[in-house]
């Protein structure tokens, strides 16, 4: 079975997920989208209102900004895979609770196993603590590379931080450029 078919099967299976209370309140499951064999896997936090409406990740203001920053870094959004740590919108856009992240972890791990990315970019503290270290502080891990199971992990800010004005866009664009450099380095090593 192809990676695309495996992702589709996982999506279909996930549509009925009721592993936490968010399954009952969502409008749409926000499973993720992008290339089934993407080299770059972008992991966000949880869907917002626009994402819940459409069932697509990063389609609100933060998503528009993300697409723009990726383009400036030389990355086509269609070439990456984008998803959230949590697949359903928490009420009032609050951060997902630990039990909600735990409920979604199996889906995320299966997505990673199917896609087999070279680099996973954790955008925001929720994503970083979900994949890297539950006690990680963004200030300590930002800009550093970590080894994940079969991929390199790079923690960065969430695009919403740029919208809030707490991080400059050029910082994230430079982070995405570093991701491209790492992918190219890993390709050279594989040859």
pLDDT tens-place string over residues 180-189:
999 999 988 7
Residue 10: count of CB within 10 angstroms of its CB: 18
Is residue 112 classed as helix, strand or coil in its secondary structure?
A: helix
CATH number of this structure's domain 3-14+27-190: 3.40.470.10
pLDDT tens-place string over residues 29-55:
999 999 999 999 999 999 999 999 999
pLDDT at 151 over 90: yes
Contact residues for 12 (Cβ-Cβ < 8 A; gap 6+): none
Q: Provide the residue ranges of all domains of the chain, joining segments of one domain with +.
A: 3-14+27-190
pLDDT tens-place string over residues 56-104:
999 999 999 999 999 999 999 999 999 999 999 999 889 999 999 999 9
pLDDT tens-place string over residues 95-117:
999 999 999 999 999 999 999 99
Residue 147: count of CB within 10 angstroms of its CB: 8
Check if the beta carbon of residue 80 is closer than 8 Å to that of residue 38.
yes
What local confidence, expressed as pLDDT, does residue 42 receive?
A: 98
pTM of the model: 0.96
Residues paired with 81 in a beta bridge: 34, 41
What local confidence, expressed as pLDDT, does residue 188 receive?
A: 84
């Amino acid at each position: 079975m192809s990676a695309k078919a495996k992702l589709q099967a996982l999506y279909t299976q996930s549509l009925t997920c009721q592993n936490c209370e968010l399954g009952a309140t969502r409008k749409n499951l926000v499973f993720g989208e992008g290339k089934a064999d993407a080299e770059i896997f972008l992991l966000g936090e949880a869907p917002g209102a626009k994402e819940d409406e459409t069932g697509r990740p990063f389609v609100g203001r933060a998503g528009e900004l993300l697409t723009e920053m990726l383009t400036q870094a030389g990355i086509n959004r269609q070439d990456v895979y984008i998803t959230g740590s949590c697949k359903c919108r928490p009420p009032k856009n609050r951060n997902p609770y630990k039990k909600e992240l735990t409920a979604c972890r199996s889906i995320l791990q299966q997505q990673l196993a199917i896609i087999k990315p070279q680099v996973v970019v954790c955008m925001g503290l929720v994503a970083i603590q979900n994949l890297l270290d539950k006690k990680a502080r963004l200030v300590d891990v930002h800009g550093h590379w970590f080894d994940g199971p079969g991929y390199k992990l790079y923690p960065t800010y969430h695009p919403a931080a740029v919208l809030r004005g707490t991080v400059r866009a050029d910082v994230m664009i430079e982070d995405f450029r570093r991701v491209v450099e790492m992918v190219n380095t890993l390709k050279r090593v594989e040859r």
